Amino acid sequence: DGGITQSPKYLFRKEGQNVTLSCEQNLNHDAMYWYRQDPGQGLRLIYYSQIVNDFQKGDIAEGYSVSREKKESFPLTVTSAQKNPTAFYLCASGTGFAMNTEAFFGQGTRLTVV
């Protein structure tokens, strides 16, 4: 089945630890995005990538890092510099170079930092 897979679904980490969230897609999409969702705040863009080996900061990139070594994969690292990392993280992909095309979302990862 074609789709976008995020793992794990739930993740718990101690404060001060870096953590990497996985995102894999087999839709052959060029564009991939990471969003953060907090209650009542909608979706906020963390990073996006429109092509392999290239990525751009979104609106809230501080404390996060990404890589795009393969077209299928766009992992997100939440570093200890992120002040409030507990949130629901959503990865998405889209066709074409433009970001205004339909976005396909993964199931999301709920990160809790204690």
Q: Kindly list the residues in this chain that would bind another protein in the complex (CB under 8 A).
A: 40-45, 48, 58, 90, 98-108
> In the complex, what is the shortest distance from the CB of residue 105 to another protein, in angstroms, rounded to a whole number?
4
Instruction: Give the alpha-carbon dihedral of 29, 82, 84, 94, to 10 degrees.
Output: -10
Q: Which C-beta is closer to another protein: that of 18 or that of 107? A: 107
Please say which residue, 46 or 78, places its beta carbon nearer to another protein.
Answer: 46
Least distance in Å: CB of 98 to another protein? 6
Return the beta strands (E) in the chain as ranges. Answer: 4-7, 10-13, 19-25, 31-37, 43-51, 54-57, 64-66, 76-78, 87-94, 103-105, 109-113
As measured in angstroms, the least distance from the Cβ of 15 to another protein is: 25
Length of the chain: 114
Q: Which is nearer to another protein, 58 or 75 (CB)?
A: 58
